[in-house]
Amino acid sequence: MYGISLVAILLTQMDRFAVGSYLGLDALGLYSISYSLAAGITLIQTALNATALPAFSASSDDPSRDVLLRRYQKFAQITGWIVSPVVAALILFGEAVVTVWIDAPTAEQIAGPIALLAAGFCLNAFYSNTYLLGVACGHPEFFLRANVIGLIFYGAVLVLGITEFGIIGAALAWFALNLYYFGAVMPVAHHHFKLGHVFFWLVKNFGVFTIVALVAFGVTEALIFTFSAIWKVLAGLSVSILFYLILSYYFRLFGKICG
């Protein structure tokens, strides 16, 4: 666990160090704004993880594993239902938020990085459920190996992305790192820990919530495309959240996570 923590520090700090070293302080400032907005997703993730870990640990000794798998499914659904609209808001309304917060030129420069960083943090939030379950069951060494491989991969992609594409390359590297965890480590963990077929798990807990959120926020953004930034933030986000809640109720997603 100490090794995982050390590698995690490098993984979460090296992008800003690399941006500052290769691109200078102006680029670092822009990237830091993007990162600060997108990293808000981790506040939700941390709050959910604080409950998930002891819940997984309490049921990890059950020979039938029924309670453990039900809790794993439930926390994944709660994560999907809460995180997906936040990610959709950052992807589709991030530029408007920064325009109101700072100014339009800054927003135009960092709209792409915000979207990529938010997508990366979204994948990380879903992967964290698998990570917590594995740790609770006493297998941190599996994730230490995955993190070391991820660190090597991330370092190479980060340098290449920054030198070729600037700050959007750094954001793309963060997305690629979490895609590695989501698309490579998670399926292996599901097989290794006997958690069921990962494809159906992802569709049920990731795909459905993400599609509903993107539809709700995307339709709203299309309808108010010509509105000013302030109205996009105030009215657009409010209507999008309401639309998402209605769709969640219609498709029984809210009942699923509360059932």
The 10s digit of each residue's pLDDT in 136-181 is 888 889 999 999 999 999 999 999 999 999 999 999 999 999 999 9
pLDDT band for position 57 (cuts 50, 70, 90): confident
Count CA atoms closer than 13 A to 25's CA, side-chain side: 0
Residue 52 identity (one-letter amino acid): A
Average pLDDT over residues 51-68: 81
Q: pLDDT per residue over 17-48, tens digit each?
A: 999 999 999 999 999 999 999 999 988 888 88
| pLDDT over 70 at 253, yes or no | no
* Residue entry with tokens 């995180």: 83
Identity (one letter) of the amino acid at 226?
A: T
Q: What is the pLDDT of residue 254?
A: 53
pLDDT tier for residue 256 given thresholds of 50, 70 and 90: low
**Domain spans in the chain, listed from the N-terminal domain onward:** 2-258
Are 86 and 38 in contact, with CB atoms under 8 Å apart?
no
The predicted pLDDT at position 219 comes to 94
